[in-house]
Chains A and B, each alone.
Chain A
C-alpha cells in the first residue's frame, strides 16, 4: 500500500513537473500549404499526428492553412495587412521574396535562425544567403536541393514508335532535327509548342540568371556560372537566334501557329498525343512528378547545364509574416520540420496507411482505398522539410535520393548565388518595362512575327525608353557591392 502510495506520489510529482515545464498552453503555429484549393478531409487527423510530436518537443500545435495558388498572393497579402495570425508562409511561389521583404510583410530572421534554427543552418549552410536582402535574412529556402537545368520532356512511347532516340543532354539543333523527323513521319503531330508565350522559355535553352522568377526586366546574366555581367536579354544575339529559330519552326509546321490564342495547354496537347514534347525545368524531382500527368511513359533530358542559383532557391521559401504572434515558436517549428522526418512526412504526404503506403525504401504510393482523383491530403506546391528525408511518390524509385544528391553536387554554382536584387529604387522603370515586355516578347518568342529585325528594334527601343538600362545599371551596382563584401 505504502509502495503504491509512494509510486502514486512520484507519478503525480513527475506529471506536475511535466505540467510545470509546459505550463503555458502550446502555441498554435499556422503553416500554409499551397494547393489548388480543394478541400482535404484528412487535414485534422494530420494536424493531430503532428501535434503528438510537436507538443512534447517544442510545445507547439500546428494548424494547416490550405490556400489555392491563384488566390495565394492576394489572400496572404490581405491576411498580413489585416494583422491576422499566420506563422509560416510560402514566399516566392506567387509573391517574390524580395517584394514581400521590401513591402514589410516579413520579419527579419537572422537572430531567430541563429538561436532556434541549428538544423536549418546545418542543412542549408551558405544557401541561406539566398533569403537575404541587403544583408538581412527574410526567408529560409523551403528546399535544399534546388539545382535546375533547362530540360525537355517528351512522349517516350511515340519516340520508340518512330525510332527516335533523344540524346541526353540534347541540343536545340538536335531537337529541331527530331521535330523534322516527326513532321515527316507523323505530319499531324507537332514537335513542340511555346504556349501563350506569356512566360518565356528562353531559360530552358540558355543558362540564364534572371534575378527573379520569370522576371526579365531586371536584366539577365548569361552563363551565370562563369559570368556576372548583367545585360538586356532582348538585345542579345542569343535572343535573336532564339526568336528566329522559333519563327523557322512555325514556318516548318513544327509548332502550332495558334498556340497563343487557342487556350490549349501544352500538357493537354502532349497528353492527347498531338505533340511530341516541350521544354521545361529539369531536376530529378521533375520526371516522377510530371509522369503523373500522362498515361504513357515519358522521357526527360537536359538541355542546359545544371546550376544552383538564387532564383532556384527563391522559388519556394518560408517566411514569418509580421502578423505572427510568436516568431520564436514559429522558427522552432520550422527548424523541427527540417530536423524531424516524421513531421516533414506528415506535412508532405499525410499519414501512413491512411494517405500513403510504402512500396520501396523511401518510395510511396496511395494507400489502399484512396481515390487518386480526390485524395484526403495532397501537398501540391509547397515543400515541407528536408527532401532527403521525405518519402517520394512513385514512379520515383529508391535510387531517387542518390540521384538528387548527385545532381545537386554536380551542379555548378551561379557566381551570384546568394545575391538578390532590390528593385525598389527603380520600381517605376520596372513596371514600365514589364508592360513593354508583355507587349512584344510573347509574339516574338512564339515565332509569330514576320519581320524579326524590325520588331526587335522597336521592342528594344521601347525598353530603353521605359528605362531598362537604368534598372540594369542599378542591378549591376548592387551586385558589385554584394560581391565586394
Chain B
C-alpha cells in the first residue's frame, strides 16, 4: 500500500509540473492578447505588461456578424466531419483488426501507403474540383484530406486487435450474432477510449483547418473561423516580409491581434474537451472480461 501512496504522490507532482508548463505559456498568450499594442511594440510581450487593452478583441468583435457565421460553419463542419470520419475509419479499422480476413496485410499496406506518398496539391485539387465539383460548397471543408487518415485507422485497428479480448467475439459468433451486431454491440462499446481519442484528434483537425477553405472556397461566406483568423495572420506576415509599396495598411491589425486570434480559436476547444473526457473513464467494466 505504501507503494500506492508514493506512486500517487509522484503522479500528482509530475502532472502538476507538466500542467504548469503547459498552462503558463497559455496564460502568457492570454495576457499578450490583452496587452496594449504600443506597449507590445516598445517592450515586447511579458507576463506583466505596463498597459492593458482589449483593442485586439474589439477588432475581432467588430466583425461580429462574420465571426458568428464562421463559428457556426466551423461547428457544423467539425461535427459532421468527425462523425462521418470516425464512422468510416472505425469500420475500416475493425475489418483490418480481424487477423483471419483474407488480404488483411495487403489492405493494411494499402492504408499505410497513403501516409507516405501523396500526389501533391494540384492533382488533388483537380480531382475534387473537376470530378466532384466541391468548390464553394460545404463539402469543400469536410471531405478533402481530413475525413479519414491512415494514421487514425491504424490506431483504431490496433485497439480492436489488442484492447478487445478475442474470446468475446468468438462467444458472440457461437451465439449466432451477426458480424454487424458484434461490431456495433461488442467492439464499439469496448473501444470508447480510442474512439474518444481519435474523435478528439479529428475534431481538433477540423476545428483548426484553414487549408481546405483556402484552396476550395472563393466564396468567403463559407469561411470557417480558422479561415478568417488565418487570413488575418497571413496578411500580417505578408506585410512584415514584403516592402509593400502603394498600399495602405493602417487598418491591419498586428501582433496583439494574433494573440487574440489564437485565444479565440483555442478557447472553444478547451470548453468542449472535458465533455469528451467522459469517454476516457474506463470503458471496460471489471468482471465482464475474463481471458
Q: Do the two shown chains form a genuine complex with each other?
A: yes
| Shortest distance between the CB of A77 and any CB in chain B (Å) | 8
Give A235-288 interface residues, CB cut-off 8 Å to B.
Answer: 262-265, 267-269, 271-272, 274, 280-281, 283, 285-286
Give A50-89 interface residues, CB cut-off 8 Å to B.
Answer: 65-66, 68-71, 74-75, 77-78, 81-84
- Cβ B130 vs Cβ A83 within 8 A: yes
- Cβ B122 vs Cβ A289 within 8 A: no
The residues of B that contact A381 with a CB separation of less than 8 Å are: 244, 247
Give B48-81 interface residues, CB cut-off 8 Å to A.
Answer: 62-63, 66
| Shortest distance between the CB of B231 and any CB in chain A (Å) | 5
Q: Is A440 an interface residue (CB 8 A)?
A: no
Number of interface residues of B (CB under 8 A): 43
- Cβ A280 vs Cβ B243 within 8 A: yes
- Cβ B245 vs Cβ A272 within 8 A: no
Residues A281 and B234 in contact in the complex (CB < 8 Å), given A71-B214, A196-B240:
no
Q: Is A410 an interface residue (CB 8 A)?
A: no
- Cβ B62 vs Cβ A264 within 8 A: no
- Cβ B126 vs Cβ A82 within 8 A: yes
Residues A37 and B235 in contact in the complex (CB < 8 Å), given A274-B42, A285-B246:
yes
- Cβ A81 vs Cβ B126 within 8 A: yes
Quick one: which of A68, A199, A214, A292 has the most chain B CB within 10 A?
A: A68
Chain B 239-255, CB-CB to A under 8 Å as 1, else 0, gives: 11111111111111011
- Cβ A195 vs Cβ B240 within 8 A: yes
Give the docked Cα–Cα distance between A214 and B130 (Å).
Answer: 36
Q: Is B276 an interface residue (CB 8 A)?
A: no
Q: Is B178 an interface residue (CB 8 A)?
A: no
Number of cross-chain contacts by CB at 8 Å: 107
Residues A264 and B250 in contact in the complex (CB < 8 Å), given A70-B234, A71-B214:
no
Give the docked Cα–Cα distance between A373 and B62 (Å).
Answer: 10
Give A380-398 interface residues, CB cut-off 8 Å to B.
Answer: 380-381
- Cβ B251 vs Cβ A82 within 8 A: no
Q: Is B11 an interface residue (CB 8 A)?
A: no
- Cβ B238 vs Cβ A263 within 8 A: no
- Cβ A268 vs Cβ B125 within 8 A: no
| Shortest distance between the CB of B122 and any CB in chain A (Å) | 5
Chain B 150-163, CB-CB to A under 8 Å as 1, else 0, gives: 00000000000000
Select A293's contact among B130, B220, B248, beta carbons within 8 Å.
Answer: B248
| Shortest distance between the CB of B258 and any CB in chain A (Å) | 9
Q: Is B277 an interface residue (CB 8 A)?
A: no
The residues of A that contact B165 with a CB separation of less than 8 Å are: none
Select A78's contact among B40, B66, B215, beta carbons within 8 Å.
Answer: B215
| Shortest distance between the CB of B41 and any CB in chain A (Å) | 5
- Cβ A272 vs Cβ B125 within 8 A: no
Number of interface residues of A (CB under 8 A): 50
Give the docked Cα–Cα distance between A43 and B166 (Å).
Answer: 63
The residues of B that contact A280 with a CB separation of less than 8 Å are: 243, 245
Give the docked Cα–Cα distance between A25 and B17 (Å).
Answer: 70
Select B237's contact among A70, A75, A214, beta carbons within 8 Å.
Answer: A70
Q: Is B13 an interface residue (CB 8 A)?
A: no
Q: Is B121 an interface residue (CB 8 A)?
A: yes
Chain B 6-31, CB-CB to A under 8 Å as 1, else 0, gives: 00000000000000000000000000
- Cβ B243 vs Cβ A268 within 8 A: no
Select A69's contact among B129, B238, B240, beta carbons within 8 Å.
Answer: B238
Give the docked Cα–Cα distance between A69 and B121 (Å).
Answer: 19
Residues A292 and B248 in contact in the complex (CB < 8 Å), given A74-B214, A274-B42:
yes
The residues of A that contact B250 with a CB separation of less than 8 Å are: 271, 292-294
- Cβ B248 vs Cβ A289 within 8 A: yes
- Cβ A82 vs Cβ B129 within 8 A: yes
- Cβ B66 vs Cβ A68 within 8 A: no
Select A37's contact among B62, B130, B220, beta carbons within 8 Å.
Answer: B220
Give the docked Cα–Cα distance between A201 and B245 (Å).
Answer: 13
The residues of B that contact A290 with a CB separation of less than 8 Å are: 248
- Cβ B249 vs Cβ A267 within 8 A: yes
Give the docked Cα–Cα distance between A267 and B242 (Å).
Answer: 12
Q: Is A374 an interface residue (CB 8 A)?
A: yes
The residues of A that contact B66 with a CB separation of less than 8 Å are: 39
Give A265-324 interface residues, CB cut-off 8 Å to B.
Answer: 265, 267-269, 271-272, 274, 280-281, 283, 285-286, 289-290, 292-294, 315
Report B's interface with A, CB cutoff 8 A.
37-38, 40-42, 44, 62-63, 66, 121-122, 125-126, 129-130, 135, 214-215, 218, 220-221, 231, 234-252, 254-255
Report A's interface with B, CB cutoff 8 A.
36-37, 39, 65-66, 68-71, 74-75, 77-78, 81-84, 148, 195-196, 198-199, 201, 214, 262-265, 267-269, 271-272, 274, 280-281, 283, 285-286, 289-290, 292-294, 315, 372-374, 380-381
17 pairs of residues in contact across A and B, judged by CB atoms under 8 Å: A36-B252, A68-B234, A68-B235, A69-B235, A69-B238, A74-B215, A78-B121, A83-B130, A196-B240, A196-B241, A198-B241, A263-B255, A265-B236, A268-B37, A290-B248, A373-B62, A374-B62
- 18 additional contacts, CB 8 Å, given A70-B234, A81-B126? A36-B231, A69-B235, A77-B122, A83-B130, A214-B243, A263-B255, A264-B40, A264-B255, A268-B37, A272-B37, A281-B243, A281-B246, A285-B246, A292-B248, A294-B250, A315-B245, A373-B251, A380-B247
